[in-house]
């Protein structure tokens, strides 16, 4: 087995929470992508990071000073997670009636919404590490977070 194969299998033991990153570009186009790599960095200042593949459609709209939302999904949002990770279904991403697209697009029924401003971008080979300063957050009281482990939702 290669280093990659072993790493992939070791990472399949991680249980992670599923989120959708969403934004609106300077022309008003809406973007959304399923992400598994949301990590809080600090409380001083409140900040988080996400790793975004440079080949994804949302990538070019992410610049220092632009805004985005991290929508932590609940267990009822599996299908939307599938849609927002499938390039062939790109046109279906904003069909869900729970999107509020007035300003920064966000899912009104998500487990949490974390609104950020891009503070710093760090390139690393295929991916960009996007660091956001948190400006506002919303959350539901009941916890019913969608998780993914070993290639399956759980």
By the 8 A CB rule, do 121 and 131 touch? yes
Residues 117-146 that bind a second copy (CB under 8 A): 120, 122, 124-127, 129, 131, 134-140, 143, 145
Overall size of the chain counted in residues? 154
Query: Cβ neighbours of residue 81 under 8 Å, at least 6 residues apart?
Result: 18, 20, 34, 73, 146, 153
Task: By CB under 8 A, tell whether 6 contacts a second copy.
Answer: yes
Give the nearest distance from C-beta 28 to a second copy in angstroms: 27
Phi, psi of 124 (to 5 degrees): -145, 95
27, 28, 43, 102: which one contacts a second copy (CB under 8 A)? 43
Query: Do the beta carbons of residue 49 and residue 41 sit within 8 Å?
Result: yes
Complex with a second copy: residue 81 or 113, whichever CB lies closer = 113
Q: Which residues bind a second copy (CB under 8 A)?
A: 3-4, 6-17, 37-49, 51, 72, 111-114, 120, 122, 124-127, 129, 131, 134-140, 143, 145, 147, 149-150
């Amino acid at each position: 087995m290669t280093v990659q194969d072993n790493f992939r299998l070791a990472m399949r033991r991680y249980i992670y929470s599923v989120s959708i990153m969403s934004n609106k570009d300077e022309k008003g186009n809406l973007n959304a992508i399923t992400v598994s790599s949301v990590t809080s960095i600090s409380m001083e200042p409140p900040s988080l990071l996400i790793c975004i593949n440079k080949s994804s459609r949302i990538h070019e709209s992410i610049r220092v000073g632009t805004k985005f939302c991290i929508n932590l999904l609940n267990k009822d949002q599996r299908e939307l997670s599938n849609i927002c990770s499938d390039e062939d279904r790109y046109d279906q991403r904003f069909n869900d009636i729970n999107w509020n697209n007035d300003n920064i697009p966000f899912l009104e029924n998500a487990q949490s919404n974390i609104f950020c401003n891009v503070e710093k971008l760090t390139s690393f080979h295929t991916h960009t590490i996007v660091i956001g300063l948190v400006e506002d957050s919303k959350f539901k009281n009941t916890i019913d977070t969608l998780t993914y482990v070993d290639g399956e939702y759980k």
